[in-house]
Amino acid sequence: MSVQHVGSSSAIRLRFGPFELNVAERSLCKASQIVPLGGRAYDILIALLENAGEVVPKSELIAKAWPDVTVEEGSLRVHLSALRKALGDGQFGNKYIANIQGRGYSFIAPVARLPGGRDTGNASSGLSNLPPALGRMVGRNNVVLEIQRWLRTEQRLITILGAGGIGKTTVALSVGHGALADFSGAVFFVDLSTAGDNEQVIGAVASALGLAPQLVDPREALLNFLRARRALVILDSCEHVIERTADIADYIVRNAPEIHILATSRETLRVPGERVLRLCPLDCPPEQPRPTASEVLAYPAARLFAERVSARRGSFSLSDDEAPLVAEICRKLDGIALAIELAAGRAAVFGVRNTVARLGSRLDLLKFGRRTANPRHQTLKATLDWSHDHLSEVERVVLRRVAIFIGHFSLEAACAVAEQGGTDRSEIEGAVENLVNKSLIVAWPSYRRMLYRLLDTTRSYAWEKLAESGEHHSMAARHASHLSRSLQDNRGNLFDPEPGQSLTDSTQHNLGDVRAALEWSFGPDGNDRAATRMAAAASQLLLAKSLFLECRNWMEKALDRIAAEDDPRDQMEIHASLALSLMFTAGNSERVRDAFNTALTLAEQREDAYQQLRLLSGLSMYLHRTIDAAGSLEVARRAETVANKTGNPEDAALADSMLGAAYYMLADHVRAPKYLERALRGAPTSRRFNATQYLFDLRTTSLFNLTRSHWFAGNLDSAAGYAERTIEEAERADHPIALCRALILTMPLYFWIDELGQVELNLSALELTAEKYSLEPFRAVAVGLKGRHLVRVGQAEDGMCHLRDSLEKLRVLRYEMLVTDFVSELAVGLAKQNQRAEALNLIDGSIATQLGSNRPLHLPALFLAKGSVLVCGESQQRDLAAECFGEAMTLAAQQSALSFELRAGLELARLWIDRGQGRRAHELIGAVYGRFTEGFETPDLVLARRVLEQTSVRARQAG
């Protein structure tokens, strides 16, 4: 409710709860007793009541209470506290003022407007037939004010347009009551819902104006009455007599210059001078985890629900537990005011939770009702029957057939599904246009084309009509067939969203329809061919949405349906999608390798270079995860051969990225960066990660391999720069796999340079992303990384438990990427707790695995860790420790892994210094330190300088 004209005769007293406010006297009473209220608190209360149900910003409240003074926000809180205390806000379940976090405050209790004493006998009241307002409005104050502003600027014909039950009549009546003063009480309400045909329209208008039946021309008599008057005429529910209403409205506007017309309709009048205001659904709370009551009540749809439950039940205070349920109700009902009011009536009797459950039934949804309303508003079914009964036959056919679509659909899609049984394309296009004009289909402007959808309430109704018609099976078949063709023809567009739109948003419109088509295709009415075709077509959408578990389940079902004669492209897509989704949800099993190889064989048989590169990139990722360096190089060279044939620069960049990754795994830190840098130069920075083109993100893969290669090579500043770029580009890629891989493979660098704050941030992002998308291998890695972090911050016991847990999970998942890191950290931790035998068994086992599998990359780190384990033992093991540190330095030097060579050297130098061999330590560290060209502020290089200074001083002292 708005009380903008609080000084007018129709808005002089307001009632809320047990309180009554006299605006003119600036007094607040409770049970006839004056409630003491300071001037500032009173001004704040008035400002909140003027916008009851809306959020009032803090700045606006301050401006109302302190118009000529600059004050701090704390002053507002003090006076709000006093106001709440005076109202007993929050006591005995009464709630008046809500603090909307970060936005302002809102008066959330129902407010009734009472007539003032001086209204009695107002002459204008006898002129108007305006019915009482339909209760307190929620979320429509701005709309009412906008229409009132138009009326004051001499806009003489306004149509409030919207779907049935959206609140058009409520808004029109509120405008009418607010306009009584402007029109000296001459506001007339004409209910056209009872007009059975066009000829009865003018009679209904004349009757509402108080004219007696005319024997002469009723149009002329009506004009004679209106020509000399200033009045507002509200024509309510025009849609079923739209042509006659448009004719009368145009006639009046042209010939009676002081008459204003406000129409409500599900279809525009389409006459000259008409100003249309489309009434949108009430804003609903978005989907979010565990919203609070205050967050949900910030949206008008939820406030309307809560108020209507209170009106039926007597009192209703929304709890945080029920808040997500109310948000779900509002979303399911599309913010349609009538639907929300009907659901609130059900909730008042059966409770919120039960109402949510009943909303799952289309039949219950349509039968929610109230007995006291206008017949066409008593149930949703009655409201929709009203519209349906006034449709042409072809419009009824098209409406029920497009109900097969769950989300948005294009005009082409509507024609593809509905064009059956003698209904041709031109008829369908015309019917869709008419259904949009009649507010039964919602038009949704898109970057590329116009899209359409049915509101859920309308779709539920039309679905019942479809079921009754016996056409459901044929429509479902056409729907699945159209979707499979459309997805196959537009795969590239899945990853090319509109400007400003996220990848998630761009695919959301199709997902419900794709799931429905999959269920039908694999169900009893479908068939094997339809099932495999639909699964292959849907796979890329499911991958685009990162629904890896769902994709895996459908692909496994499709494998059971594949026949030898099926399209090889569909077979290839099913195997490839199974491989990728299985790899990210269940680890790197042989099934993954087999699926990739099967798909690759099909691509080679078809001589499809595009698919060969795509599948080779997926196989390369699998081999990278299992640390198969030799296999990775072989696959990369195959990709290079294919790329040379295509001549496409992006294909060449992919091959370079794969080669760079393979050389990194082979510990060749000279060749690896050259290929990776060339890959980045050939891969456009502006392009989004496109999993339909390649199965890994070329740019972030190249960047994290460059990060690690530069780290190993001792280029620590460059490595840190590449790590930062890796995370930034992975976040822009808008894909959880790219982000998880980037986080996992850059975090070890941050451990190395002791940037534990960055580790914490990245670990949190990794845990959330892996959990959200059920990425089991990444969740297992996150456990290990958390274990490393706990050990580093002094929580060794918990950290080692995490490391053990992670290693066990990664063994089952066959994910090898960071296993040696975790083994090294756990072994050193065990040694520090005097469990050296277990520590040595663990580290020796890992060294043997690396040597046996020809994995040289992590050997320097493992020998470094073994030396640290031996240092924790008896003094006689120090010689063995020195040998391990020396072996680590030798292996690192062979790989040009300068960072590991220095760290092993520092450990060896420490042993030598303890033995009084300072000069030897000085020469060792000086030789390694002198080869660094950057990273001088990182911990190892700072320590190296300190060692050099100390050994230099001792050497001088000894001399």
Within 8 A by CB and 6+ apart from 252, the residues are 222, 223, 226, 233, 259, 261
Q: What is the pLDDT of residue 5?
A: 41
Asked if residue 128 belongs to a domain, the reply is: no
What is the spatial order of strands in the sheet that 275-278 belongs to? Answer: 187-191, 231-236, 259-265, 157-161, 275-278
Within 8 A by CB and 6+ apart from 539, the residues are 551, 554, 555, 573, 574, 576, 577
Q: What is the pLDDT of residue 959?
A: 53
The residue out of 329, 359, 389 marking a domain boundary is 389
In 357-457, the DSSP E strands lie at 409-410, 442-445, 450-453
Q: What is the pLDDT of residue 496?
A: 47
Which CA distances in Å does 831 have to 544, 823, 842, 859? 46, 12, 11, 19
In 696-801, the DSSP E strands lie at none
Asked if residue 214 belongs to a domain, the reply is: yes
Which CA distances in Å does 470 have to 366, 482, 790? 20, 20, 64
Instruction: Say whether both 186 and 87 belong to one domain.
Output: no
How many Cα atoms occupy the beta-carbon half-sphere of 890 within 13 Å? 7
Instruction: Say whether both 257 and 326 belong to one domain.
Output: no
Q: What is the pLDDT of residue 360?
A: 58
Asked if residue 45 belongs to a domain, the reply is: yes
The residue out of 788, 811, 834 marking a domain boundary is 811
| Three-class SS state of 123 | helix
Within 8 A by CB and 6+ apart from 247, the residues are none
In 9-60, the DSSP E strands lie at 13-16, 19-22, 27-30, 33-34
| Three-class SS state of 284 | coil
Instruction: Say whether both 45 and 105 belong to one domain.
Output: yes
The answer to whether the pTM exceeds 0.75 is no
Q: What is the mean pLDDT for each group of 10 consecutive residues in the chain (959 residues)?
A: 40 74 76 75 86 85 78 81 84 76 82 54 49 72 90 91 85 88 86 74 82 65 84 90 90 91 91 91 85 88 86 76 88 82 79 75 50 50 74 90 89 89 84 84 74 81 88 92 86 49 47 91 91 92 85 94 90 92 87 93 91 90 88 95 92 93 92 94 62 63 94 96 94 85 95 96 94 89 96 95 95 90 96 93 95 91 96 83 96 96 96 92 96 96 95 68
Phi and psi torsions of 159, nearest 5°:
-115, 125
Instruction: Say whether both 357 and 426 belong to one domain.
Output: no
Asked if residue 154 belongs to a domain, the reply is: yes
Largest CA distance in the chain: 132
Closest by CA to 459, choosing from 121, 163, 212, is 163
Strand 187-191 to strand 231-236: parallel, antiparallel, or no bridges (unpaired)? Answer: parallel
Asked if residue 558 belongs to a domain, the reply is: no
In the chain, % helix, strand, coil (3-state, to 5) comes to 65, 5, 30
Is 543 within 8 Å of 552 (Cβ atoms)?
no
- Cα–Cα distance, 410 to 449 (Å, whole number): 8
Length of the chain: 959
**Cβ neighbours around 853 below 10 Å, total:** 14
CA 834, 837, 842, 846: dihedral to nearest 10 degrees? 120
Closest by CA to 540, choosing from 587, 595, 592, 577, is 577
**Cβ neighbours around 289 below 10 Å, total:** 5
Is 826 within 8 Å of 833 (Cβ atoms)?
no
Amino acid at 61: L
Provide the number of structural domains found in the chain: 5
The residue out of 335, 359, 389 marking a domain boundary is 389
Instruction: Say whether both 204 and 259 belong to one domain.
Output: yes
Is 766 within 8 Å of 778 (Cβ atoms)?
yes
- Cα–Cα distance, 10 to 114 (Å, whole number): 8
Instruction: Say whether both 106 and 34 belong to one domain.
Output: yes
Instruction: Say whether both 159 and 198 belong to one domain.
Output: yes
Asked if residue 684 belongs to a domain, the reply is: no
Asked if residue 884 belongs to a domain, the reply is: no
Q: What is the CATH number of the domain that holds 409?
A: 1.10.10.10
The 3-class SS string of 662-685 reads HHHHCCCCCHHHHHHHHHHHHCCC
DSSP state of 275: E
Instruction: Say whether both 274 and 149 belong to one domain.
Output: yes
Sign of CA dihedral 320, 321, 326, 329: positive
Q: What is the CATH number of the domain that holds 733?
A: 1.25.40.10
Instruction: Say whether both 382 and 396 belong to one domain.
Output: no
Instruction: Say whether both 260 and 325 belong to one domain.
Output: no
Element (H, E) at 262: strand 259-265
- Cα–Cα distance, 893 to 902 (Å, whole number): 10
| Three-class SS state of 512 | helix
Structural domain span for residue 98:
13-114
- Cα–Cα distance, 7 to 16 (Å, whole number): 18
Q: What is the pLDDT of residue 66?
A: 79
Is 599 within 8 Å of 579 (Cβ atoms)?
yes
Q: At CA 372, angle to CA 370 and CA 373, rounded to 5?
A: 80
Instruction: Say whether both 180 and 266 belong to one domain.
Output: yes
Strand 157-161 to strand 259-265: parallel, antiparallel, or no bridges (unpaired)? Answer: parallel
Within 8 A by CB and 6+ apart from 782, the residues are 763, 766, 767, 770
In 632-752, the DSSP E strands lie at none
Asked if residue 863 belongs to a domain, the reply is: no
Strand partners, 410: 451
Instruction: Say whether both 313 and 372 belong to one domain.
Output: yes
In the block, residue with structure tokens 């195959």: 638
